[in-house]
Amino acid sequence: MDWFKHEKIGDRIISITDLGNVRMFLIEGDERCCLVDLGFGIGNIRKYIEENITQKPVFALVTHCHIDHVNACALYDECYLNEKDWNQYERAYNVERRKYDEFKNHPILKDVPIEFYDPRREKPFLNVVDGQVFDLGGVTLKVIEVPGHSPGSIVVLIPELRTCIYGDACGRRLGLAGDAAAPVSVYLKGLMNLKQYDGQYDRILRNHNALECPLDMLDNVIECCQQILAGTDDKYPVLRGGKWVLAAKQVDENQRRVDGKQGNIFYREDKRC
């Protein structure tokens, strides 16, 4: 079984996808490497990297504690996650929930036996805070907190490569729908924190769907927040994970904005505050 695929997508950056088709990014420094995000945790990503990509030491940095980003964390002793997301790990790891609920309609993951799931992390995570910098040798990573999609969501800026990894913090159909998601006003503050770094990057990498997105995505999502708070957004009903939520901007049957712009918020009514 081929659990992973990888592709060099730029100087010092390798994109790795797992069976669930969610991306992780390996950033290669002169001395060590950082794996940004850990996917669904099915198959051994650590072994794959050691055998196919690099022998340098690797540590892990997780953008947020959701099932498709955190679940190989037991494979890396040195694994960083913002402490505001720590209490979501049990839910993200829960093997039965993944196998029999989240993956039940997934074309590939539904058939993977539980024995191939990575083990539960027993060690505590290491915390990261806004502004923290990791030096990999010749390249650095800067942590930018953007709470919203989850309380501890972060974005990772790589100044030397003029690249920013958005995780799920800002996207085509950003979800403020889970119980742990922040209200829109808190999310807007997080986006303004990211906005300060405009001009320091001209490439945005995404974990889901297209690899890259246009630079105006952030401004579009900020505008969505402002309109939701003013009550002037489209409030367009959409189904997300089997539940009805509201899209700030009207979408087509593929959940793309009908006005052709990228960046939207799918939110639950009670997050409008």
State which of positions 59-98 bind Zn ion (CB under 5 A): 66
State which of positions 102-141 bind Zn ion (CB under 5 A): none
Q: Least distance (Å) from Zn ion to the CB of residue 224?
A: 17
Q: Least distance (Å) from Zn ion to the CB of residue 129?
A: 20
Tell me the per-residue interface mask from 161 to 180 with Zn ion, x by CB under 5 A, - otherwise: -------x------------
- Looking at beta carbons only, is 240 or 256 nearer to Zn ion? 240
- Looking at beta carbons only, is 33 or 144 nearer to Zn ion? 144
- Looking at beta carbons only, is 68 or 118 nearer to Zn ion? 68
- Looking at beta carbons only, is 43 or 175 nearer to Zn ion? 175
Number of residues in contact with Zn ion, rule: CB under 5 A?
Answer: 2
Tell me the per-residue interface mask from 215 to 244 with Zn ion, x by CB under 5 A, - otherwise: ------------------------------
SS3 letters for the chain? CCCCEEEEEECCEEEEECCCCCEEEEEECCCCEEEECCCCCECCHHHHHHHHCCCCCEEEECCCCCCCCCCCHHHCCCEECCHHHHHHHHHHHCHHHHHHHHCCCCCCHHHCCHHHECCCCCCCCECCCCCCEEECCCCEEEEEECCCCCCCCEEEEEHHHCEEECCCCCCCCEEECCCCCCCHHHHHHHHHHHHCCCCCCCEEECCCCCCECCCCHHHHHHHHHHHHHHCCCCCEEEEECCEEEEECCCECCCCCECCCCCCCEEECHHHCC
- Looking at beta carbons only, is 85 or 168 nearer to Zn ion? 168
Q: Least distance (Å) from Zn ion to the CB of residue 40?
A: 12
- With both helix axes pointing from N to C terminus, report the angle between 217-230 and 184-195 in degrees, rounded to the nearest 10: 150
Q: Least distance (Å) from Zn ion to the CB of residue 66?
A: 4
Q: Least distance (Å) from Zn ion to the CB of residue 92?
A: 10
Q: Least distance (Å) from Zn ion to the CB of residue 252?
A: 23
- Looking at beta carbons only, is 159 or 178 nearer to Zn ion? 178
Give contact residues for Zn ion (rule: CB under 5 A). Answer: 66, 168
